[in-house]
Structures are given as C-alpha cells and as structure tokens.
Structure 1
Amino acid sequence: MSIYNKILVVANINNDEQPALARAMQLAAKSRSRSQVKFFLSIYDFSYDMTSMLSIDERDAMRRGVIHQREQWMQKVAAPYINDNIDFEVHVVWHNRPYEAIIAEVFAGEHDIVIKGTRKHDVLESVIFTPTDWHLLRKCPSPVLLVKNSDWPENASIIASVHVGSENDTHLGLNDSMVEQLKSLTDRLGAKPYLVNAYPVTPANITIELPEFDPATYTDAVRGHHLTAMKALRQKHGYDEDQTVVEQGLPEDIIPEAAKELNAAMVIIGTTGRTGLSAVFIGNTAEHVIDKINCDILALKPQGYISPLDPKTAI
C-alpha cells in the first residue's frame, strides 16, 4: 500500500492560492516518515522558440530567465504552506505539453502520487477538468489526486467507488487497492470511510423480447449478488455494514449522489486508463463519474498498468 511519501504537486500558474500544495502538505505532515514534496511547473512560450533574430544561446538565456522568474514566484506562493519537517523543492521545466512533462517527472523522480488543483466554477460550484487533467487520469502511472479546495471540511467522509459485481481480476484488484487507500487516507485526514457500489438497472428490452422474463426476480438476484460481494469486500478489510452503500443505477448518478449525501470531501475511483479511439467511442465509466463529482478525486490505475509514456517502453 502506498503511503505517499514522495509527492509531486503541480503548481497553478494562474493563482497565488495553491490548494493542491495545501493538500500535499496535509498528507505529508501526517506521514509516519519524513516526506518529500516537489512543487512542479511546466512552462512554454512559443514566441521564445520562433524569434529568428536571436541566436540559440540567446534564446536559451531567455528561457532560463523565464524559468528563474517562475521559480522565484513559486517559492513565494509556497512559503505559507511549507513545513520544516518536510523536504521541499521547486522545479520548473520548459515543455510544450504539460501532461508529458508531469508524467516524465513522475518516472524520473519515482513519485508516489501526483496532486493537482482543478478549476472551480464559482456560480455552479462544479469542477471543470482541463485537457491536462484528462491526460493524467488516462496516462499517469501513479495515483492522481485532483483537488478542489485547500480546506478540508469538518466531519467529512471519503468514499471508495468500488465495482463489486465483477469477477474480472482487474476490477477485483482495483477494489482492494481502493479500499487500502481509503484506510490510509481516512486515518491521515480524520475522515469517515464508506464503500459505494452501483448495480445495473434491468434492461427494458428484455421484457419485450422474453415475455416470460420476470424483471422483479432478476433485479432481486442482481441486488443479492452485489450485496453478497460487498459483504465479502467489507469483511475482508474490516468495515461494518453501515459503512457500505449498494444502490441500483448508473455509477455516474449513484456515486455523485452518495458523495453529496455522505458529505464526501474525496472520492476514490479506479480507472483502467483507456486511451485513443477506445476512449472516444467506448468512454471510461470513471470519467463519466468524475464529471459530476464536486469534491477531490483520487484516481488509481490497476496493478501492472503500463503508461504509454513509460520511457522503458519507448522504441
């Protein structure tokens, strides 16, 4: 189980407030061993590379100057968050694709987790996920924590969105990983843990195609299967029945609803990291859920996941 002692925090260049850094320091401060937090930023300005009047050395000097300015700004905005008991450093790189720079840093520094702030829509209080967020959720090898607010609410809960109806080894492994992370995070952050699962509605067309089909019996059987599987999972990890929720419906409806009712400050999800055409045409259930959740999101990959940006697999 990861204890998140090597944390990579992505800076928000548009604001002096850094909720991701606040959450990182909160987690690091409650670690049993000394933690390392790297405050990271990827910057790029196309004009610096296209100025034909400057020599290569002059362009390099200008880039170094911009990087130095950003480093000074990051040290300044980080000052209120820094804890002397935590190893802290600032790192700025010149890269035209932020998500690639972040993932490269994860591999280079062997970071346990990436923590990044999300944009909040003040009117609707919804979270807006950027293209960089989606790339990280699909391709980052480490867990990704997307943070909405720097303050951790009182009497908050953390829920793990488990998928207990499946016999798929990937889902079973992700369930165990999510519950282990749930234990670790609720201990660190003083939150209440819950396991939440959604099971499917009986397809309406079955009753038309099969007149003898009894939807009530089928629904009861599906619910019973999910309740039994949830019981096995909670007992395996030492949770009580009142810490579980099993509801009929789509995950993208049930999980956000449960998060709101349980005052969740964080939802842990599993994502298989589907990319390319399969992501476009099939879609990730996790990503549909994420769109509707109004709190921190921790996304975990299955064991053995290989990022398409892994330098070891590069040709």
Structure 2
Amino acid sequence: MSVFNKILAVVDPSKDEQKGFQRALLLARKTGASVTAFLSIYDFSYEMTTMLTIDERETMRQAVVDDKTDWLANIVEPLAANSAISIDIKVVWHNRPYESVLYEVIDHSYDLIVKGTQEHDTLKSVIFTPTDWHILRKSPVPVLLVKEHDWPIKGNILAAVDVGSEDEEHRNLNKCITNMAGLMADLLDGHVNLVNSYPGTPVNIAIEIPEFDPIEYTDSVKKHHKNCMLEHAREFNIPESNQYLSEGLPEDVIPAIAKEIDAELVVIGTVGRTGITAALIGNTAEHTIDALNCDVLAIKPDGFECPLKR
C-alpha cells in the first residue's frame, strides 16, 4: 500500500517558484500518488462592485479565476513535463484560503497537504502566514511544510516523540509519528532518528524544600525517559545510536538535534489547539516548527476531526 495516494499542493500566488509543488511531485514519483496544484484566490475589490448586476459580478469573478488558472498552468506544465504523474490544476474563489484548503481535503479525500513556506529576505528566516498556522491546527491529514533544505539520499529523518508521558493519546501519537518517519525514510532511502526532551529540576522546588536533591531528581527523570525511549525504539528497530535524549524544552531540543544531525525532515505531532489560547500562545509544536531549518511533516492523533463545519 502506498504511503500517499492523493496529494494537495497548495500554491503561493505571490511566487513563481513553487517549492511546495516541486516537493509534492518528488513524493508522487516515489509513491504513484496523484497531485493537485491548488490555488485559493479572492479579490477584495469584488466587494466594491455591488452596483454591478449579478451576471456582471460573476463575469468579473470568472475572469480573475481564468487568469490565475492560465498562470498556474504555465508554472505547472514545465515541471510536470515528461512525467507519468496524474496532475490536476484547481483554482477556487474563497476569501479564507485555509478554509478552502481544508474543505478541498475533506470533500475530495486527500491524504497529504504540501505547502511551501515564505522566506524573509532580511532576516533569512522563515515566516509562517496565518494560513499556515490555521492549516496546521485544523487539518485532519498530515501537513508537509517545505523550507529550503534538500532531500539527499541516505539523509536523516527525525521523529520528535514524547516517550516519558503515560497518557494513552501521547503514546499512540508517538507510534504514529515514528511509523510515519519510517515510511518517509523508506521513500527517501534515509535513516530514522528519535529525539525526546525531558524537563529539568523545577527551580521553585529546589528553593522551597531544603532536603530536595536536584541532582538525584534530574538523574531519576533522565533514567525514566531513557528507559521509555529504549522501549519505544525497540518496537521500531531503531538503534540506540539513532536516539537523542536531552534536558530542556522541546522547542529548544528538537531544532538543536535536527541541526546537529543535519536532518532533512522532522516529523512532529500537533494537538490541534484552537480558540483564543491558540491565538495568544500557540503550542509547543508551533514554537518548534518555527525554529527548524528543514522540512516539517506535522501529523495529528488518530481520530482527530477538522473543527470546520459547512
């Protein structure tokens, strides 16, 4: 069975070079999946045309869609030349791009979203748009965010797990993350690595309880996480040399290890937090993704449902 059968490549209308679409083509060549180049557009001047008739407004809207369809075809066709991959082009009119992407996924049973990120020319860093974050939080299927890192053969795939948790949902998500990392490693002829962080000694406890031994506490926590990591790795035949365990916050540890091993791809789980807490503080996965300099494949726990409703 193929890892992916139907890939939705989200196109950036402000770019001529579509790195997300190119990455989707690479995966399609290896899996036999079909690819749809998808563009969501909306011209806000359309809101100012209320004096026009319904037919005139529709003609205006369709002209914009047709123009963007031609533009997209000119980009896609050279990249897809001499390829046996099934490729479609779809341009939709919608004032919320992330909603149009998610509705497309739900309505047409895609199993992967691929989207390029935007590079900040001055800071040489990646900027994530509100659309990126909405898709990450709400997508019911894996989301591949493409940065600028190459995917060489024999490269490193890093699975970010939380093996110290006793929570059943976390344990299941760890398995999903590691299994996906293995599938991607098979596709890319790469190596699976595991990374896990563990918390340091709480400062307030060390201060308030004189008899508390912070060294003993830290050693105990580290030992617990190491044993959990070994147990998890055995299930997937991952050698100890490919296991990384460090004290600290996940958003610090994961990018540091990814840089140390020059990872091509990091597979990470997202919990899909929504509402005002997401708007204000985001979550650990988002802080981690922001700090990585390689592609990121974000997946949800089994049973996750998209919160969007028609």
TM-score normalised to structure 1 length: 0.94
1:13 corresponds to: 13
Distance 2:151 2:73 in 1: 23
Q: Is 299-308 or 122-131 further displaced after alignment?
A: 122-131
> Alpha-carbon deviation of 1:210?
1.2
Look up the match of 2:36. Answer: 38
Q: Are residues 150 and 13 of structure 1, via their aligned partners in 2, closer, same or farther at CA, if it must alter by over 3 Å?
A: farther
Return the alpha-carbon distance in structure 2 between the equivalents of residues 80 and 185 of structure 1.
Answer: 26
Q: Is the 8 A contact 2:149 2:295 kept in 1?
A: no
Paired position in structure 1 for 2:211 = 212
User: How far 1:45 sits from its partner (Å)?
Assistant: 0.7
> Within 2, Cα distance between the matches of 1:244 and 1:68?
51
Q: Distance in 1 between matches of 2:197 and 2:145?
A: 23
Structure 1 range deviating more: 301-310 or 149-158:
149-158
Give runs of aligned pairs for residues 259-274 of structure 1, distance below 5 A: 259-274=258-273
Q: CA deviation at 1:123?
A: 4.3
The answer for unaligned runs of 5 or more in structure 1 is: none
Q: Match of 1:145? A: 144
Pairwise CA distance, 1:295: 1.3
Q: SS at 1:291's partner residue? A: helix
Matched residues in 2 for 1:257 and 1:79: separation?
Answer: 39
- Map 1:228-239 → 2, pairs under 5 A: 228-239=227-238
Name 1:68's counterpart in structure 2. 66
- Correspondences of 1:159-174 after superposition (within 5 Å): 159-174=158-173
SS of alignment partner, residue 8 of structure 2 = strand
Cross-structure match for 1:28: 28
Displacement of 1:72: 1.1
Instruction: For 1:185-200, list aligned pairs within 5 A.
Output: 185-200=184-199
Alignment of 1:1-315 (within 5 A): 3-31=3-31, 34-82=32-80, 84-149=83-148, 151-153=150-152, 156-280=155-279, 283-311=282-310
After the TM superposition, which of the residue ranges 282-291 and 132-141 deviates more from structure 2?
Answer: 282-291
CA contact (8 A) 1:18 1:150 kept: no
Letter in 2 for 1:245: Y
Question: Contact 2:153 / 2:189 at 8 angstroms: preserved in 1?
Answer: no
Residue-by-residue CA offset, 1:111-140 (whole Å, 9 max, x unaligned): 001100001124443211110000011111
Q: Shift of residue 290 of structure 1?
A: 1.3
Using the TM superposition, give the Cα deviation of residue 173 of structure 1 relative to its aligned residue in structure 2, in angstroms. Answer: 1.0
Deviations 1:65-89 (A, max 9, x none): 1111111111111123216321110
CA contact (8 A) 2:155 2:191 kept: yes
Distance in 1, matches of 2:178 and 2:286, equals 20
Which 10-residue stretch deviates more, 183-192 or 86-95?
Answer: 183-192
Residue 151 to residue 260, structure 1, CA distance change in 2 (3 Å): closer
CA contact 2:149–2:264 (8 Å) conserved in 1? no
How far does residue 99 in structure 1 lie from its aligned partner after superposition? Answer: 0.2
Using the aligned pairs only, state the percent identity: 50
**Compared CA separation, residues 260 and 70, structure 1 to 2 (3 A):** same
SS in 1 for 2:230: helix
What is the aligned residue count?
309
1:180-238 CA distance string (max 9 Å, x none): 11011111122222110010011111111211111111111100110011101110011
How far did residue 12 of structure 1 move? 1.2
One-letter code aligned to 1:75:
A
Structure 2: state its 5+ residue gaps: none
Q: Letter of the aligned partner of 2:228 in structure 1? A: A
Structure 1 window deviating more from structure 2 (191-200 vs 95-104): it is 191-200
Relative distance call for 1:290 and 1:218 in structure 2 (3 A) is same
Q: For 1:229-256, what per-residue CA distance to the aligned partner results, in whole angstroms no more than 9, with x for missing partners?
A: 1101110011111111001111111111
TM-score normalised according to structure 2 size? 0.95
Instruction: Give RMSD over aligned pairs.
Output: 1.6
